[in-house]
Amino acid sequence: MKNRLAGQKGLMSDRMAVEGGANVLVRERFDGAVLRRGLGAQAGGWLVRAATVSFILCVGGYARQSQPRTGPYAGFSAAQTTQNAEAQHLRDGQPKSGNSAANGEASSSSPNTPFPAEIKKDYVDPNAYFIGEQDALVITVWKEKEISGGVVVRPDGKITVPLVGEIRVVGMTPIQLQSLLVEKLKPFVTVPQVTVAVTEIRSRKIYLIGHAAREGPFPINSTTTVLQIIAQAGGLKDFAKRKKIYILRQHGTEQTRFDFNYEQVIKGQHIEQNILLEPGDTIVVP
């Protein structure tokens, strides 16, 4: 009996030991699974956070790139912006640091590089210039805006001035026209002060016809010669009769002819043939 009880107790002890070991093993496996599951969840959370941050950075960078530029260089690339900034420094007279040669190249290629100043028109001497047809004039009467303004000389050589009427002005100098207007305005204006200015010269031109490289009208000044007009026209054609060129000048109903030997003049011979041209002259190259 005692032996049986002892055997049963031994079996119970072994069973408890086995069950205890199994519980420990199960608990350890459970704890390991829980640990692995926790680590996996934490790692997954990190991956989600990293992906979210990357997405935000990408969206923010795209937004900054797609955002329109503002300021004076809006719509230009980085290279164009640099060139424009250098051109602006040059316009302002401020030297830009860095390689001067590179800066000069960038400035010269910049689309905003200032253009050279326009060539000034020839000065018109009011005592020496003779008004011609189609010339544009500005007549100013001090404190009389109603009778001041611009006029163009008509083909008949006349202009129309308020209170005065029609006046023939072709062949007069601006100073002579001023004096005439002062006398004619005295009945209407107390001590009239008149100024006449030539704003555009359209009457001083000559004509070139014949075997020249370019035919047509050419503007002249008071010192233009025949040889200069031929040079402006681009020279003579191959079959031009260079020794038989002539100039026709009209004076009222009379016409004067001047001979011009191109071969002699360009050699410095008979340079008196290289006359000063007058408005209305016609150069004929046979």
Which tens digit of pLDDT belongs to each residue from 124-136?
677 788 898 889 9
Could you tell me which of 280, 230, 276, 277 has the C-alpha nearest to residue 255? 280
Evaluate whether residue 30 is within a structural domain. no
Q: Are residues 145 and 163 in the same domain?
A: yes
Evaluate whether residue 226 is within a structural domain. yes
Evaluate whether residue 113 is within a structural domain. no
Evaluate whether residue 114 is within a structural domain. no
Say if residue 119's pLDDT is above 90: no
The residues, ordered by sequence, that sit 6+ positions from 263 with a Cβ below 8 Å of its Cβ are 242, 243
**Domain boundary at 200, 215, 235, which?**
200
Confidence of residue 47 (pLDDT cuts 50, 70, 90): low
Say if residue 77's pLDDT is above 60: no
Number of domains in the chain: 2
Evaluate whether residue 279 is within a structural domain. yes
* Average pLDDT of every residue of the chain: 75
Evaluate whether residue 2 is within a structural domain. no
Name the pTM for this structure: 0.47
- Top-confidence range, 90-104, 110-124, 178-192: 178-192
Say if residue 71's pLDDT is above 60: no
Q: Are residues 209 and 278 in the same domain?
A: yes
**Domain boundary at 165, 200, 235, which?**
200
Q: Are residues 189 and 226 in the same domain?
A: no
**Domain boundary at 200, 221, 252, which?**
200
Domain span at residue 162 reads 136-200
